[in-house]
A and B are shown apart, each in its own frame.
Chain A
Amino acid sequence: MRWSPKLRPNGWDGLAAAIVLLLAAACAGMLWGRGAATGGELEVVVSIDGGEVERFVPTDSAGEKTYTSRGYTLHVLVRDGGVEVSQADCPTQDCVHTGWIGRAGESIVCLPARVIIQLVRTDGGSDPGGVDVVIG
């Protein structure tokens, strides 16, 4: 092939092409990463008096956490990718009786302490076979 001297590719053209390719790869990487982050990770959201006080991924946070509100203390055990209130000094003990929860949409409520522990997915979805809302 014959090139006009002005159109013949040189090193600078190669560099420009490489930068375009790198930028394209970076864009693809960003979008890919973003997609993975919203793929629906299960999170525990703890609210006291209507305000969110903590949000964590249960699989990364195994162990015990303690929340105190309105004079009551809840001991929350994070295990097996879910949570339970293992002990509380509230009068109703409904939070303890709820037991372990591990699906998006499930929650543990302590009305006397005004604590709500809810499982959510980062993409807002719920688990296959699970429920969005419980009535009753």
Chain B
Amino acid sequence: MRRWMAFVLAAVLTGGLTACAGTPADPDEAQESIQVIAMDTVMIISAYGEKSTHTVYMAEDEIRRLEGLLSRTEPDSQVSALNHADEQPTAVDGEVSRLLNAAALYSEVTGGTFDISIAPVVSAWGFTEAENRVPSQAELDGLLTHVGMEHVHAESPDAVWLDQGTQVDLGGIAKGYLADRIAMLLRENDIPRATISLGGNVLAWGDRPDGTPWRIGVQDPKRPDDAEGFAGLLQLEDAYAVTSGGYQRYFEQDGKAYHHIIDPATGYPADSGLISVTVVADCDREASDGLPGTGTMCDALSTALFVMGEEKALDFWRNSGYDFDMVLVTADDRVVVTAGIAEQFTPDEAGGYAYEMVS
């Protein structure tokens, strides 16, 4: 009898151990990662936790939904409907209305350096067309008369309209807003840790599985094709980071390079002495409610600060009341890091930059 008991106990022991081996020791360590090509960029969603698979596919659905809603080149989007309404009031979703109002706010506080109504000028340079070209000054002057948020009337979602000749492009905040939306999904699904990379927009959610902060490499704008060429390394936990740079999309004509970030004041590619701006701000996990928030702010500010240039960007950082930090890469080979993230930033000496910390 005892012998058979020994067999039974051995079987139970084996079953127990193999059952343990078949499932992860900690459900938080389950991981899912997907790549999505959308909004003219590559997005990589990596999440950990019991609901990681469910959550990354929800994030993909959200990416597709927002692309369909906000794309300027998608004929059925609400933004396209607005752009082709010939001044007729158009009903839009409350979500689109909120984004238009967020865009108006960031335009106002940044002195118009961020402006979604710059769209026709960007098109004149060919950045949304098949071929790039340098428009004439007369053409730019004509287009610039329709640029400015005073031409966008979005007080009520039931009746939004644009003045004649004005068009909007929400591309400057759409990915930031998408980061805000995905943060909400991560919170709702109890995702302990994740990295969300939306083509220049990153959300570092929680920490790495080994308990250290996520390591975010800031691409060296002078070595854009070098996968290991960084201006520095940011160690972030629960933070948004967004980079704007003129090195990502540009064309050359007659030996001169023209990039895609247009200064609304001149109609020309911004020539501010900055070649890359990275904006970093804390992500309050509990406050991630899916409304335009910190992700949207980082996206808008990175463009605006790039247009402003170093001096005005630092003034804005010190005096605007917005809570964020920056990494500025200048055309004269300096990397300027603001005090709030100085300890989380590690220079990459291979880039040959002089590093400065400002407070």
Q: Which residues of A contact B (CB under 8 A)?
A: 12-13, 15-17, 19-20, 23-24, 26-27, 30-31, 34, 47, 49-50, 94, 97-101, 103, 106-109, 111, 114, 116, 118, 120, 124-126, 130-136
**Contact assessment for A103 and B228 in the assembled complex, using a CB-CB cutoff below 8 Å:** yes
Tell which of A23, A50, A136 has the most Cβ of chain B within 10 Å.
A136
- Show 26 residue pairs from A and B whose CB-CB distance is below 8 angstroms, ordered by the A residue: A16-B7, A19-B10, A23-B11, A23-B13, A23-B14, A27-B18, A30-B18, A30-B21, A31-B20, A47-B35, A50-B34, A100-B227, A101-B227, A107-B44, A107-B227, A111-B42, A120-B33, A124-B46, A124-B48, A124-B209, A125-B210, A132-B195, A133-B202, A133-B217, A135-B202, A136-B220
A27 touches B278 (CB 8 A): no
Query: In angstroms, how far is the closest chain B Cβ from the Cβ of A115?
Result: 9
Q: Mark B41-56, 1 if CB is under 8 A from A, else 0.
A: 1101010100000000
B266 at the interface (CB under 8 A from A): no
Q: Which residue of B lies closest to A13 (CB)?
A: B3
Tell whether A16 pairs with B3 under 8 Å between CB atoms, given A50-B37, A131-B233, A134-B219. Answer: yes
B245 contacts the other chain (Cβ, under 8 Å)? yes
The 9 closest A-B pairs by CB, nearest first: A136-B219, A131-B217, A97-B225, A27-B17, A16-B6, A124-B31, A136-B243, A20-B10, A134-B217
A126: chain B residues at CB < 8 Å are 215
Decide yes or no: A24 and B13 within 8 Å by CB, A106-B228, A133-B214, A134-B217 being known contacts. Answer: yes
Partner among B33, B37, B215, B226 whose Cβ is within 8 Å of the Cβ of A111:
B37
User: Are B227 and A98 interface neighbours, CB within 8 A?
Assistant: yes
CB distance from A86 to the nearest CB of B (A): 14
Most chain B CB inside 10 Å of its own CB: which residue of A15, A26, A100, A133? A133
Size of the chain B interface, CB-CB below 8 angstroms: 57
Chain B residues, Cβ within 8 Å of A97: 225
Smallest beta-carbon distance A100→chain B, Å: 8
Expressed in whole angstroms, the Cα–Cα distance for A114 and B36 within the complex equals 9
Bound: A34/B20 CA distance, A: 11
- Assuming A49-B37, A135-B278, is B227 touching A108 (CB within 8 A)? yes
Which residues of B are in contact with A by a Cβ distance under 8 Å?
A: 2-3, 6-7, 9-11, 13-14, 17-18, 20-21, 29, 31, 33-37, 40-42, 44, 46, 48, 195, 197, 200, 202, 204, 208-210, 214-221, 224-228, 230, 233-234, 241-243, 245, 248, 276, 278
From B2, B34, B48, B243, contact of A135 by CB (8 A) = B243
Contact A130 B215 (CB under 8 A): yes
CB distance from A54 to the nearest CB of B (A): 14
Residues of A within 8 A of B21 (CB): 27, 30-31, 34
Q: How far is the CA of A124 from the CA of B293 in the complex (A)?
A: 29
User: Which of A27, A47, A120, A131 contacts B216 (CB under 8 A)?
Assistant: A131
> Are A136 and B7 touching (Cβ within 8 A)?
no
**Contact, CB under 8 Å: A136 / B248:** yes
| B residues less than 8 Å from A100 (CB atoms) | 227
Question: Chain A residues with Cβ under 8 A from B44's Cβ?
Answer: 107, 118, 133
Q: How far is the CA of A131 from the CA of B209 in the complex (A)?
A: 14
Say yes or no: B278 contacts A133, CB within 8 Å: no
Interface pair B6/A99, CB less than 8 Å apart:
no
Pair B42/A20 contact, Cβ less than 8 Å: no
Specify which chain A residues have a CB less than 8 angstroms from the CB of B225 in the assembled complex: 94, 97-99
* A132 and B219 in contact, given A17-B6, A27-B13, A125-B209 (Cβ under 8 angstroms): no
Within 8 Å CB of A47, what residues of B? 35
B3 lies within 8 A of A12 (CB): yes
Distance A99 CA – B226 CA, assembled complex (angstroms): 7
Q: A27-B14, A134-B217, A135-B241 given as contacts; is B3 within 8 A of A106 (CB)?
A: no
Chain B residue, CB-CB nearest to A22: B10
**Neighbouring B residues of A20 by C-beta, 8 Å:** 6, 9-10, 13
- Give complex CA distance A20, B18 in Å: 15
Give the docked Cα–Cα distance between A24 and B214 (Å): 39
Contact B37 A131 (CB under 8 A): no
Give complex CA distance A108, B234 in Å. 21
Q: Within the assembled complex, what's the spacing in Å between the Cα atoms of A23 and B221? A: 59
Q: Are A133 and B204 in contact (CB under 8 A)?
A: yes
Interface centre among B14, B40, B204, B221 (most CB of A within 10 A): B14
Collect the chain B residues with CB atoms within 8 Å of residue A106's CB.
Answer: 227-228
Whole-angstrom CA separation of A109 from B243 in the bound complex: 18
CB distance from B30 to the nearest CB of A (A): 9
